Amino acid sequence: MSLEHFISEAISPWMKEEGPDSDIVLSSRIRLARNLENYNFPDFASKEESETVIRKVHEANGDQEYGNCGKFEILSLDQLKPLAKRVLVEKHLISPHLAEQSKYGAVMLNEDESVSIMINEEDHLRIQCLFAGFQLKEALKLAGELDDWLEEKVDYAFDEERGYLTSCPTNVGTGLRASVMMHLPALVITKQMSRIIPAINQLGLVVRGIYGEGTEAQGNVFQISNQITLGKSEEDIVEDLRGVVLQLIQQERAARNNLQQGLKIQLEDRIFRSYGVLANSRIIQSKEAAQCLSDVRLGIDLGVIQGISRSILNELMILTQPGFLQQYANEMLGPDERDILRATLIRERVELEEA
């Protein structure tokens, strides 16, 4: 398989678009948790119940078109190989929970992979909409419409007082998790992030690494999301998050300016060294790769490096994850083999740009 072809397979079509503020906000995501009225929550449901839930949702909405989303396809997790599941996780189309723990999981995906509806994850339904750049409101609107579309055919577990009922009390009410993926290299370099994270936490928001709960920030990419789902409207939740994101964008831009003015040569040195590593290394671990990619992407955003497309960070961050590397190699690889293949793949990708 050629690299170009592999990339086009591996990168979801929605990612190729440039959204607003995409120099800092890589993507926006809305997730709605919903449960069906008459069945135990997935982790406590019998096989029959879980299969009925999948069947109900499939009958109602699977293989159908919705608005601009195109046609939906339903995948049953037990029919996927472990590697295929891992690739879906690395593309953020399913959660690690669905891939590893759910007994009777399934997922509905649309053609450009901007919408994924997980079935029998922690809740019966997890409607997820992904948008490029900073487009939380747009994502909320679409998720709301999809929610209405599903609700036409299935009865939701809803309570007047508590709202949408979810398996975990942390999701009850709106069932809404809004999140943005932000690239904040200047705030990290200037050591401001360690001060900012506790401040964000105090506002009822959470800062995590790129693959969600319990993951470390890789390549200066942070995921920021709401924690509170009850007692606020969907619009207010998104507005509160948006407010914080706007401030972070401003602060990151200011920090980038300061760096460029005060430490121009040091910054350029760092960027070009990282570029050198990516273009020349023969063995590279994912952590180092992520850090170098972050530097190069910053260099592109600042105009220090020219002629390379911005999407290289988003692309290579995903492509150099273990699952993708193994899919590219078409075999299972040990950590050492992965580090070698990762280096090769990055070099080839960079050469593709230079050509």
Partner 1 sequence: MFCQECHERPATLHFTKIVNGQKTEFHICEHCAKEKGEFLPGSNTFSIHQLLSGLLYGDPAISGTASPGLSQQSVLACPKCGMTYQQFAKIGRFGCRHCYEVFDSRLDPILKRVHGGNTKHEGKIPKRIGSGLQEKRELENLKKSMQQYILNEEFEKAAETRDKIRLLEKQKHQEKGE
172 binds partner 1, rule: CB under 8 A = yes
State the binding string over 232-251 for partner 1 (x if CB under 8 A, else -).
xxx--x--------------
Please tell me the distance from the alpha carbon of residue 189 to that of residue 193, in angstroms, as a whole number. Answer: 9
For residue 8, the surrounding DSSP H or E stretch is: helix 3-10
214 binds partner 1, rule: CB under 8 A = yes
Write the CA distances from 247 to 190, 200, 250, integer angstroms.
16, 11, 5
Of 54, 176, 249, 341, which one interacts with partner 1 (CB under 8 A)? 176
Please tell me the distance from the alpha carbon of residue 72 to that of residue 150, in angstroms, as a whole number. Answer: 12
Q: Where are the beta strands (DSSP E) in the chain?
A: 25-34, 65-66, 70-76, 106-110, 115-119, 125-132, 158-159, 163-164, 176-183, 205-208, 221-226
Q: Which of residues 67-126 bind partner 1 (CB under 8 A)?
A: 96-97, 100-103, 122
Q: Is 180 annotated as a binding residue?
A: yes
Buried/exposed 211-238: b ≥16 CB within 10 Å, e otherwise: bbeeeebbbbbbbbbbebbbebebeebb
Of 163, 209, 272, 337, which one interacts with partner 1 (CB under 8 A)? 163
Of 79, 152, 330, 354, which one interacts with partner 1 (CB under 8 A)? 152
**48 contact partners, CB below 8 Å, separation of at least 6:** none
Q: Whose CA is closest to 171, among 112, 235, 124? A: 124
The token pair at 278 is 């990516």
Measured from the CB atom, is 43 or 112 closer to partner 1?
A: 43
Measured from the CB atom, is 232 or 347 closer to partner 1?
A: 232
263 binds partner 1, rule: CB under 8 A = no
Q: Is 237 annotated as a binding residue?
A: no
Min. distance of Cβ 338 from partner 1 in angstroms?
19
Q: Is 211 annotated as a binding residue?
A: yes
The token pair at 2 is 């050629």
39 binds partner 1, rule: CB under 8 A = yes
Of 81, 148, 194, 335, which one interacts with partner 1 (CB under 8 A)? 148
230 binds partner 1, rule: CB under 8 A = yes
Contact status, residue 66 vs residue 153, Cβ threshold 8 Å: no
CA atoms within 13 A on the CB side of 50: 21
Of 22, 27, 35, 327, which one interacts with partner 1 (CB under 8 A)? 35
**283 contact partners, CB below 8 Å, separation of at least 6:** 336, 339, 340, 343
Taking contact as CB under 8 A, which single stretch among the options 106-114, 142-150, 177-185, 187-195 is the one that binds partner 1? 142-150
Measured from the CB atom, is 234 or 295 closer to partner 1?
A: 234
Contact status, residue 141 vs residue 149, Cβ threshold 8 Å: no
Of 59, 73, 213, 351, which one interacts with partner 1 (CB under 8 A)? 213
Q: Which residue positions form the known binding site for ATP?
A: 27-31, 92, 126, 177-181, 208-213
Q: Which residues bind partner 1 (CB under 8 A)?
A: 35, 37, 39-41, 43-44, 96-97, 100-103, 122, 144, 147-148, 151-152, 155-170, 172-174, 176, 204, 213-214, 227-234, 237
